[in-house]
Amino acid sequence: MIKVSDIVRIGPVIPVLAFESVEEGEAVCRALYEGGVKVLEITLRTEAGLGVIEAASKIADDIVVGVGTLTKPEQVAAAKKAGAQFGVSPGLTRELHDAAVAAGLPLLPGCMTPSDLVQAVSFGYEIVKFFPAQQAGGVPMLQAFYGPFPTLRFCPTGGITPETAPNFLALPNVVCVGGSWMTPKSAVAAKDWAEVTRLARGASQLAHHHAQKAA
C-alpha cells in the first residue's frame, strides 16, 4: 500500500479533476500523464467519478489515482474497489477516518482551522490538505500554523494558480499543492489534449525543484 508521504513526493502538483463522462476523463488523464503528471485526484463531484478512476488506473503502471471529495464513509470502499490508491476529503470525521483505515485507503484529510489540525494529529495524520487554501488565508495562514504545528505537512488546495503555487511550495510545511489549472474548461470542451499536456508539463517542472522537500 502506497503511503501519502510517498504520493506527495511523486506528485508535488496534484490536479483536482471532475468529469462529465468516463471517455472525457480518460482522455484528460492520458494527456496529464503525457505531461509528466503521475498523481491524479479524481473527485466524486460527478456521476462519472468512479468510472474514470477505474479507467485512469489502467493507463500506466506508475500512475497513482486518488479519489477526491470523500464526505461519506460508504464512498471509501466503493472508490477502493474502483482502483483508487488514496483518498482526499474536504473535511475530517471519525467515521471517515475509520472507513479509510478499514478499507486500507491512505487518506489526505481536509483541514482549515487549528481545531481541525488538533483532531487530525490525534488521529495520527502527519500530512493534511489545507482547504480551501486561498479563501482560508493562503500563505500567511500556513506560516501561522508552523509555530504550533511544526511537524505537520500540508497540501494546500483551492484557488491556487500557476503564479501562486511557487509561493506555497516555498513554505517549509508545504509538500505539494492541488489545483485545477491544468485542465481549463475551454481546453477540455475543445478536446485540446495537447494544451492539457503542455500545462501538465509546466506544472511538473514547477514541482521538480521542490520534490526533495517531501523526503
Residues designated as active site: 41, 129
Residue with cell 502538483: 13
Nearby residues of 88 by Cβ (< 8 Å), 6 or more positions away = 41, 66, 67, 68, 69, 70, 107, 108, 109, 110, 129, 178
Q: What are the residues whose beta carbons fall under 8 Å from the beta carbon of 213, sequence distance 6 or more?
A: 169, 172, 175
User: What is the total residue count of the chain?
Assistant: 215
Q: How far apart are CA 34 and CA 196, in angstroms?
A: 9
- For residue 47, the SS3 value is coil
How is residue 189 written as a grid cell?
470542451
User: Cα–Cα distance between 114 and 200 in angstroms, integer?
Assistant: 33
Q: Which of 143, 213, 177, 147 is nearest to 16 (CA)?
A: 177
For residue 153, which of 190, 192, 109, 193 has the smallest C-alpha distance? 109
Beta bridge partners of 127: 153
